[in-house]
A and B are shown apart, each in its own frame.
Chain A
Amino acid sequence: MRLLIVEDDAEAAAYLTKAFREVGHVADHAADGLEGYAMAEGGGYDVLVIDRMLPRLDGLSLIRSLREQKDDTPALILSALAQVDDRVKGLRAGGDDYLPKPYAFSELLARVEVLARRRGAPAAEPTTYRVGELVLDRLAHRVTREGQEIVLQPREFRLLEYLMKHAGQVVTRTMLLENVWDYHFDPQTNVIDVHVSRLRAKVDKGFELPMIHTIRGAGYMVRDSAR
Chain B
Amino acid sequence: MTAPADASSHKRQRFLPTLFRTTAFKLTAAYLVIFALFAAFVLGYVAWNAKRLLDDQIRSTIDAEIQGLAEQQRQGGIRRIVNIVERRSRAPGASLYLVTTPVGERIAGNVEAIPPGTLDRTGESEIEYARSSETVDTPSRALVRVFLLPAGFRLLVGRDLEERDRLGIVIRRAAGWSLALVLILGCFASWFVARRVLKRIDGMSETAHGIMEGDLKGRLAITGTGDELDRLALNLNAMLDRIGELMASMQQVTDNIAHDLKTPLTRLRNRAEEALRTAKSPDELRAALDGSIEEADNLIRVFNALLMIARLEAGRVSDNMSELDISEIVSGLAELYEPLAEEAGLSLASDVAPGLKVRGNRELIGQALNNLIDNALKYGAPEQGGDGTVAVSARTIGDQVELSVADHGSGIPEADRGRVFDRFVRLDTSRSKPGFGLGLSLVAGVVRLHGGSLTLEDNAPGLRVVILLPVGSPKPVDTPALAEPAASTAAPNPAGVPIH
Contact = CB atoms under 8 A, between A and B. Distances in A.
A188 B301 contact: yes
A104 B498 contact: yes
Contacts of A191: 336-337, 339-340
A98 to B, nearest CB: 8
Interface string B331-344: 01001110110010
Interface stretch (A23-31, A39-47, A115-123, A176-184): A176-184
Contacts of A102: 296, 300, 497
Nearest to B378: A189
B233 to A, nearest CB: 36
Given A194-B339, A194-B343, A84 B498 contact: no
Contact of A103 (B293, B371, B377, B496): B496
B495 interface: yes
B496 A173 contact: no
Contacts of B389: none
B496 A83 contact: no
A202 interface: no
B73 interface: no
Nearest to A180: B336
Contact of A83 (B301, B377, B439, B489): B489
Contacts, number: 120
B304 A82 contact: yes
A186 B497 contact: yes
B460 interface: no
Interface string A88-99: 110011000011
Contacts of B311: 83
Contacts of A198: 339
B485 interface: yes
A218 B290 CA distance: 12
Contacts of A155: 335
A107 interface: yes
Interface stretch (B23-31, B137-145, B147-155, B360-368): B360-368
Interface string A176-212: 0110010111111111001100100000000000000
Given A106-B498, A195-B339, A188 B493 contact: no
B319 interface: yes
B494 interface: yes
B14 interface: no
Given A100-B493, A104-B500, A84 B335 contact: no
B340 A85 contact: no
A173 B337 CA distance: 15
B500 A84 contact: no
A147 interface: no
A86 interface: yes
A174 B495 contact: yes
A119 B100 CA distance: 126
A87 interface: yes
Interface residues of B, number: 44
B498 A172 contact: yes
A184 B488 contact: no
Nearest to A104: B498
Given A82-B304, A85-B320, A88-B320, A186 B494 contact: yes
A191 B343 CA distance: 10
B481 interface: yes
B340 A184 contact: no
A82 B493 contact: yes
B491 A83 contact: yes
Contacts of A83: 311, 488-493
A103 B363 contact: no
B124 interface: no
Nearest to B316: A83
B167 to A, nearest CB: 82
B500 A185 contact: no
A178 B499 CA distance: 14
Contacts of A190: 340
Given A84-B361, A92-B485, A186 B498 contact: no
B371 A188 contact: yes
A198 B336 CA distance: 12
Nearest to B487: A85
A177 B332 CA distance: 12
Interface in B300-347: 300-301, 304, 311, 319-320, 332, 335-337, 339-340, 343
Contacts of B487: 85
A92 B484 CA distance: 11
Interface in B82-110: none
Nearest to A185: B367
A88 B485 CA distance: 9
Contacts of A194: 339-340, 343
A103 B498 contact: yes
Contacts of B340: 189-191, 194
B295 interface: no
Given A107-B498, A194-B340, A84 B332 contact: no
Nearest to A85: B490
Contacts of B181: none
Given A84-B492, A188-B371, A183 B498 contact: no
B482 interface: yes
B496 A100 contact: yes
Nearest to A198: B339
A85 B481 contact: yes
A84 B490 contact: yes
B441 interface: no
Given A174-B496, A195-B336, 10 more contacts: A83-B491, A84-B491, A85-B319, A87-B493, A88-B490, A102-B497, A185-B370, A186-B304, A186-B494, A188-B370
Complex A-B, nearest 4 residue pairs according to Cβ-Cβ distance, in ascending order? A186-B494, A104-B498, A85-B490, A100-B496
